[in-house]
Amino acid sequence: MKKILYIAFIGLLGLLSACEKDGDQVFMLETPVAPSIVTMPNLTLERNNGTNVLEFVCTPVKPGFAASANYFLEAAVSETNFAKTIAIQSNTTGTSFKIAVSELNQILLKELPADQASNVDFRVRSVLVVDAGTTAPGTGAKPFEYTSDVQTASVTVYGLPRLDLIDSGMTQKIESALGNGEYTGFVKFDVTKPFTLLDPDTQTSYGGAGGTLAANGSGIVPEADGWHILTANISALTYKTEAYMIGLVGSATPNGWDAPDSKMDYHAASGTWRITIDLVVGHMKFRRNDSWAWNMGFVEGETPGMSGNLQQGGVGNDIPINEAGNYTVIFTILSDTSGTYEIIKN
């Protein structure tokens, strides 16, 4: 006998749908238990503890039946009602979020002043999907969402030592998350603009070639245009570069599914990748370095729209563009496997 999955609520909500034949039933509590933050770590962050791992201990959502959900640890400046949400981490367990001091510091430093205490609100948000192949509440089109009570904590982030890129064509810097002489960051190269690295604290300038730095050396000549990860070690006097170009690809984009992708620019203040672009009706995804080895589309099981969550890889999860026009596209990388996007029509 064919089994038809339907969702029923106990009490006030009643039945959402009924089975025409005998089948499996999934019952949800009238008031599902939202996730919660049980314990918070000490959030006075210090550079010399940058490698320490902090843990937010949580409890998952309890809808009354075995279910899977995506969980998001989020923060916001206190008394702003999460008008501007800071995405910290996501996972599928909801029991614990672990993050290094240096990584959390980099995330919060985008919104908080350095070296002073700030009140910050934290919450865990869960998105629960019971995909029964319908448009009923709880399915991919209308997922259930439950949010924990807000926990407020005093947070102190530390400013990062930096090296400024001089003569690179724009204001750029790389930073040392641990203050140990190793610096890294996203930078945009122009092969016609050799650059040097200036330590503003000591006024020492570094140049070089072939991966070797030298104090007061000549300008470093980039090997290729575009965005790269630049890493420099002023103790070992070495540097290296790695191409890191995020782009849009797909039938909605100017070059279709072929390279080169439409390259986005990195915005350090917000930690996002952005582009203003003319799109046509079609589909798109995000790729790195014009390669399918790393690509993101909407989370399978969710309904794509003008904003949403992203997952690494996937088949058939291209983001649709339903109307031609000029758009601003914003892409946030949360981890190597997840992210978020927003598409704004100008």
Which pLDDT value is given to residue 48?
84
pLDDT means over runs of 10, the chain (346 residues): 34 37 51 92 92 96 81 96 95 95 93 93 90 48 86 95 96 92 97 97 95 97 97 98 98 97 94 97 98 96 94 93 98 94 97
In this structure, what CATH number is given to the domain that contains residue 62?
A: 2.60.40.10
Tell me, yes or no, whether 250 and 236 share the same domain.
no
- Residue 220 within a domain: yes
- Residue 24 within a domain: no
- Residue 133 within a domain: yes
Which pLDDT value is given to residue 269?
80
Tell me, yes or no, whether 58 and 170 share the same domain.
no
- Residue 28 within a domain: no
What burial letters (b/e) apply to 95-114, b meaning 16+ CB within 10 Å?
eebebbbbbbbbbbbebbee
Tell me, yes or no, whether 227 and 310 share the same domain.
no
Q: Looking at the DSSP assignment, which residues form a beta bridge with residue 5?
A: none
Domain interval for residue 183: 162-243
Which pLDDT value is given to residue 135?
46
Of the residues 136, 156, 176, which one is the last residue of a structural domain? 156
Domain count, the chain: 3
Cβ(157)–Cβ(175) below 8 Å: no
Cβ(223)–Cβ(186) below 8 Å: no
- Residue 85 within a domain: yes
Tell me, yes or no, whether 263 and 187 share the same domain.
no
- Residue 214 within a domain: yes
Q: Say if residue 41 is preceded by a cis peptide, omega within 30 of 0.
A: no
CA distance 271 to 269: 6
Which pLDDT value is given to residue 29?
59
Which pLDDT value is given to residue 201?
87
Of the residues 243, 263, 292, which one is the last residue of a structural domain? 243
Residue 252 tokens read as: 């909605």
Tell me, yes or no, whether 230 and 267 share the same domain.
no
Name the one residue in this structure whose structure tokens are 């090997």: 223
Tell me, yes or no, whether 238 and 148 share the same domain.
no
CB-based contacts of 114, cutoff 8 Å, min separation 6: 157, 158, 159
Q: Classify the phi-psi angles of 95: left when phi > 0, otherwise alpha if psi is within -120 to 50, otherwise beta.
A: alpha
CA distance 146 to 182: 41
Tell me, yes or no, whether 193 and 231 share the same domain.
yes
Cβ(58)–Cβ(94) below 8 Å: yes
The model carries a pTM of 0.67
Q: What is the DSSP letter of 334?
A: -
- Return the percent helix, strand and coil in the chain, to nearest 5: 5, 50, 45
In this structure, what CATH number is given to the domain that contains residue 239?
A: 2.60.40.3620
Tell me, yes or no, whether 166 and 269 share the same domain.
no
Tell me, yes or no, whether 47 and 146 share the same domain.
yes
CA distance 161 to 176: 5
- Residue 16 within a domain: no
Distance of CA 73 to the CA centre of its chain: 11
Tell me, yes or no, whether 112 and 204 share the same domain.
no
Cβ(283)–Cβ(320) below 8 Å: yes
Which pLDDT value is given to residue 143?
76
Tell me, yes or no, whether 263 and 295 share the same domain.
yes
Which pLDDT value is given to residue 32?
83
Of the residues 131, 156, 181, which one is the last residue of a structural domain? 156
Tell me, yes or no, whether 200 and 265 share the same domain.
no
What burial letters (b/e) apply to 35-72, b meaning 16+ CB within 10 Å?
bbbeeebebebebebbeeebebebebbebeeebebbbb
- Residue 99 within a domain: yes
Which pLDDT value is given to residue 130?
65
